[in-house]
Amino acid sequence: MRDMLRRHGAEPRAMVFEPVPPRYQMLVEKEELAIWDSNTAPDPSTVDGVLILDTCSYAQLEPAADWLRLAKVPKVVVDHHVTRDSLAETYLIDETAAANCLLLWEWSQANGWAVDGDIARALFVGLATDTGWFRYSNTDSRALHAAAALAGIGLSPHELYRRLYQTDPAPRLRLLGAVLERMELLPLGPTDLLAVLTVDQSILKQAGATTSQTEDLVSEPLRIEGAVASTLLVEQGDGIVRVSLRSQPPLPDTDRRDVDVAAIAQQLGGGGHRRAAGARVAGSLAEVKRRVIEAFSQ
């Protein structure tokens, strides 16, 4: 969006709340994204408007939440999540969209904006990662048509996949092994299982890994027969535990549970989709884990 808006005369400043993980550095190698903190937050009087992407929840905007509440400027949200707060004047929300980047692609096409090069690559990566490289249940003909159009611009999907998923540093693989060794499988019914993964500071240190390298670990247990949901709890080191939640739809002609993890995330102050959600919860790892398991049990 930063690059598209620049092409049309705007001077956008794109900001995120934590450093871009190494996996996605290829998307910002020409120009880094600014990190929002007390020193970099812009003076509201210098801002014409705010565009909020891929969330509509104050809980997920916490570092900027108070700023947003006080800033008397137009605010626009582009999002595809089920959970939302009243935080803007204008909303472009479509819960049926497989990815926020799908909405941005369709927005660009509706406006007749040219999409090429780095813009096309960023949109394709956003679409592909939100669909699990087109494996998740949100993959539909709309998402595949957009992916085909973006690939037709000159992208090489297999090269992007290799750069994203086949260039992991060794510590990330060590972390994966250590986390799976500690995995707990808890019953959610006669045959259904909940997988619980935990990452504390000691396991990160032992593996030589960082919290950013925990991405996607939550999906690994869903390969287990009977695992209908999975949760990953990561101790951030600042009194906050990041909770990631995943579920998968039951196959036809089975009596597996259909778990709505967005509803569970809301109980924890977070949000997301029916199949993928999360929250940032204050407390010890043990206490937050107890709360998460209790929410699933209910």
In this predicted structure, what is the pLDDT of residue 137?
87
Q: Are residues 120 and 198 in the same domain?
A: no
Query: How many domains are there within the chain?
Result: 2
Find the domain containing 143 and state its range.
Answer: 2-165
Identify whether residues 60 and 199 lie together within a single domain.
no
Q: pLDDT below 70 — which residues of the chain? A: none
- Closest by Cα among 119, 19, 120, 99 to 53: 99
What's the CATH number where 37 sits?
Answer: 3.90.1640.10
Do both 54 and 188 map to the same domain? no
Task: Please tell me whether residues 59 and 186 are part of one structural domain.
Answer: no
Among 117, 135, 165, where does a domain finish? Answer: 165
Same domain, 22 and 146: yes
Is 238 in the same domain as 222?
yes
What's the CATH code of the domain at 277? 3.10.310.30
Report the pLDDT value the prediction gives residue 82, as an integer from 0 to 100: 84
Domain boundary among 165, 199, 223: 165
Do 104 and 245 share a domain, yes or no? no
Q: Yes or no: say if 214 and 237 are a contact pair by the CB < 8 Å rule.
A: no
Residue 48: Cβ within 10 Å count: 9
In sequence order, the 6+-apart residues with CB closer than 8 A to the CB of 61 are 52, 55, 68, 87
pLDDT of residue 191: 87
Query: Which strand (E) or helix (H) includes residue 276?
Result: strand 276-282
Please, are residues 262 and 82 in contact by the beta-carbon 8 Å criterion? yes
Together in a domain, 186 and 159: no
Residues 96 and 134 grouped into a single domain: yes
In the sheet where 227-235 sits, what is the strand order? 184-187, 193-199, 227-235, 240-247, 276-282, 271-272
Give the pLDDT score at 204: 95
* Residue 222, CA distances (Å) to 78, 118, 126 in order: 29, 33, 22
Domain limit, last residue, from 165, 196, 211: 165
Same domain, yes or no, for 151 and 181?
no
Question: Which pLDDT score is estimated for 68?
Answer: 95
Is 24 found in the same domain as 10? yes
pLDDT for res 278: 93
**Length of the chain (residues):** 298
Q: Clarify whether residues 24 and 161 are in a common domain.
A: yes
